[in-house]
Structure 1
Amino acid sequence: MVKVHERLYVGDEGSCRQGSPELAVAHACKSPCHQRSVGYKGSLAQKHPQYLALQHSHDLYLNIIDPPLPLFRLETFSHFLSFAEEHHGRGGSLLVHCNQGESRSPSLALLFLAKRLGAIPGESFPAAEAAFVTLYAKYRPGQGIRQSLTEKWGLLD
C-alpha cells in the first residue's frame, strides 16, 4: 500500500481488507473481490443489478478487469468517483486496490486526484498521467484503461 496523497492509498491484492470509517476501500478487481461480494463464479449477467458495482458501507466492489481494448463503462468511473468523494470528504482515508496495483487502482486514484481533489492537472488524461507518475512510480496502465480514460476524460467531471 502506497500513499499517493493525503489520505489516499493505492495497493495490490495483498492490500485488500474490509473497509472501515477510518479507511474506505475501493476493490477494483472482478476476481476475487467483486465475485466474492456479489456471490458468483465466472461471469455475471449484464442485467444483474450489481453488474458494475456493489457498495457496502465502506467498501466499493467494482466488476472491472484490465483488457487491452477500451471496454470500460463511464458508469464504473462515476461509481468510483462518488464513493471516493463521499468517504474522502468525511475526513477518512481511501484505499484503492486491484490485483497487481499497476493499472486499474492507480488509474482510479489518478482520476480522483485530477477530477475531484485538483491535486494534479485535470485538463487531460496525458497531463494527469504525467503528474501522477511522479507520485506513483509503479503506474503501468493497460492499453484499454489508458484509451478509455483518454476518450472519456471530458465526460468525467
Structure 2
Amino acid sequence: MKEVHQSLFVGGERDCIETKGSEKWAVVHACKHPCHQNAVGYSGNLPQSHPNYLMYRKDRDLYLNMVDMDRKQDHEYMEPIVSSALDFVEDYIGSNKVLIHCNKGESRSPALAMLYLAKRENAIEKDTYSEAKQDFQELYPRFNPSRGIDLYLQDYWHQL
C-alpha cells in the first residue's frame, strides 16, 4: 500500500485485508473477484439488470464490478463506475484514509487514483493521458495499466 496523496492510498487485495473493520478507512474495491462477487453474493456473472450490477455501496465500502481486459471497455459501462469511485473518494477523503485497491495494485486501482488526482484535486495538471500517466508513474511506479484500461483512458481522458 502506498500513499499517493494526503490520505489517499493505492494497493492490492492484501492491503484491503489490513484495513477491514477499521473505522479509519473507507475502501474502493476495484475488482469483480472476489470483492464485488462476495459483497453482492454471486459467482460467475451477474445479470446486467441487477440493481448492483456495476457497483454496490455499503457503509464505508464501494464494491465495483471492474475487470482488467485486453480490449477497451465501453464508456457506457465504465463511466458510471469511474464517476462513483471518484465521488466516493471525494465523500470520504476529508474524514478518513481512503484505500483504492484492485487485485494486484497495478492497473485498476492506480488508474482510479490518478483520475481522482487529475480530475478532482488538480494535483496532476496534464492535458493528456500520456502526460498524466508519466507523472503518476513517478508517484506510483507500480502503475502498469492493462491494455483495456490504457485504451479507455487514452480515448476518454477529456470526458472523465
Q: Same fold (TM over 0.5)?
A: yes
Shift >4 Å, 4+ stretches: none
Taking structure 2 as the reference length, the TM-score comes to 0.92
Deviation for aligned residue 1:121: 1.9
Deviations along 1:60-113, one digit per CA (max 9) or x if unpaired, are 00000000111152111111111111111x332110000011000011100101
1:79 aligns with 2:76: no
Deviation for aligned residue 1:122: 4.2
1:127 aligns with 2:108: no
- What do you get for the CA RMSD once the two structures are aligned? 1.3
- Larger deviation: 26-35 or 143-152? 143-152
Deviation for aligned residue 1:20: 4.9
Aligned residue in 2 for 1:94: 98
- Secondary structure (helix, strand or coil) at the match of 1:134 reads helix
Residue 122 and residue 23 in structure 1: after superposition, are their counterparts in 2 closer, same or farther (change >3 A)? Answer: farther
Deviations along 1:4-62, one digit per CA (max 9) or x if unpaired, are 11101111111114365421100000000000000000000011110100001210000
Taking structure 1 as the reference length, the TM-score comes to 0.93
Residue 19 and residue 94 in structure 1: after superposition, are their counterparts in 2 closer, same or farther (change >3 A)? Answer: farther
- Secondary structure (helix, strand or coil) at the match of 1:24 reads strand
CA distance in 2, matches of 1:126, 1:138: 16
Aligned residue in 2 for 1:53: 55
CA distance in 2, matches of 1:108, 1:122: 16
- Report % sequence identity: 45
Aligned partner letter, 2:33: S
5+ residue gaps in structure 1?
none
5+ residue gaps in structure 2?
none
Listed as ranges, the matches of 1:6-17 within 5 Å are: 6-17=6-17
